Amino acid sequence: MRSAWVMKLKPGQEAEYKRKHDEIWPEMVALLKSQGVYNYSIYRHGLLLFAYLEKPDDAPSQTEGVDPVIQRWWEWMAPHMETHPDNRPIAEPVEEMFRLD
């Protein structure tokens, strides 16, 4: 399964957003891997973030609520990006237009 979405940084928060991802929590990495994620990249163009994720179609997914690790991550990142009131990043899915395998 491949998915991609865009998010937006708040002005002046580019360096801090990058620093926090450079120091990603081991428990966040473990959670992503436990959900089958094997490729996850985020790119920046100005204040626009483009995220791309790959995991097997049959990978496990969390069925009830949001994992507490993700909730803490969202809260930690909220000062740097546009979010919903519950700290979830405002993320807009993007449509795949071309793929070469």
Other beta carbons within 10 angstroms of residue 51's beta carbon come to 16
Rounded to whole angstroms, how far apart are CA atoms 15 and 94? Answer: 25
Residues classed as catalytic: 21
Please give the structure tokens belonging to residue 4.
Answer: 């991609």
Rounded to whole angstroms, how far apart are CA atoms 38 and 95? Answer: 21
